[in-house]
Amino acid sequence: MRLHLVDGTYELYRAHYSPRPGTTAPDGRDVKATAGVMDSLLALLHDEQEAVTHVAVAFDNPIRSFRNALFAGYKGDEGVPPELRAQFDLVEEAVAALGVRVWSMKDQEADDALATAAARWAGEVEQVRLLTPDKDLGQCVRGQRVVQVDRRQQKVMDAEGVKAKLGVEPWSVPDLLALMGDDADGIPGLPGFGAKGASAVLQAYGHLEAIPDSAAEWTVKVRGADKLAATLKAHREDARLYRTLATLVEDAPLPGTASLADLEWKGVPEARFKAFCEGLGLKSLQRRPKRWAA
């Protein structure tokens, strides 16, 4: 068995901004992003190499989460195009019409759902595959049992892959993002800390608390070490807050899911899927499924 965990919000945005032609429903609604997500998920479900047996898709709905109460600068829903926002509920209906479990996250984020499921069921499946390129999911990777998959780049990262890409072990990823920041989530990081310097320090110390205040005590050579050490000493509380923002929750509620069996994909429910496609005028998509639910 394999457990595929998909960042639905990433897929929705990717479909919206993709060069694929626009799609309009009979009632005039823009449904390009929804159609794109359905097309992408059907490709995943049909992929013999991915060999999907159990799957779930998580969405941020709304975008804001408990992290916005912790830090005003954290990512919000400002600037979301209205035609995209209008599809937040619709895309969840679309994924359910594929026979795939949907996790609509309210106070937590889609990434928290993925992290929770990976922690909960990694021991019950051959492999957990986290389908998202987001750096913060690197913290969930465990050996080759939990891996991160970037479908667009066709890359799979195990623990060694995370270290090669980010320069730190998976368990240091929140500390790394705290120091260098993460523009995608509105985490500013500390002044002067770039990816190279932050990863070098964390290779030596692992976590923020273990980094000495004085650069003279550092066992690793980093350009501008004195200034970086002074910055960290002055802003340790900020760094801890940023790490909290970057640390994914592993006990988030997973709507409609009591056990791994609830995530088994048994095929596309034909009547429901075709009715949904008919309502949005997606005639060509109706012929795409290769496996119908019994």
pLDDT tens figures, 28-39: 999 999 999 999
Domain boundaries, the chain: 2-166+249-287, 170-246
Confidence at 294, pLDDT banded by 50, 70, 90: confident
* Dist. CA 254–CA 230, nearest whole Å: 42
CB-based contact 128:146 (threshold 8 Å): yes
To the nearest 10°, the Cα dihedral for 38, 150, 84, 37? 0
2-166+249-287 and 170-246: identical CATH topology: no
* Residue 162 reports pLDDT greater than 90: yes
> For the segment 23-73, what is each residue's pLDDT rounded down to a tens digit?
999 999 999 999 999 999 999 999 999 999 999 999 999 999 999 999 999
Query: What are the C-alpha distances in Å from 115 to residues 118, 204, 248?
Result: 5, 26, 6
**In CATH, what number does 2-166+249-287 get?**
3.40.50.1010
According to CATH, the topology of domain 170-246 is DNA polymerase; domain 1 (1.10.150)
Q: What pTM value is reported for the model?
A: 0.96
Q: What is the pLDDT of residues 77-95, one digit of tens each?
A: 998 999 999 999 999 999 9
In the chain, the percentage of residues whose pLDDT exceeds 70 is: 100
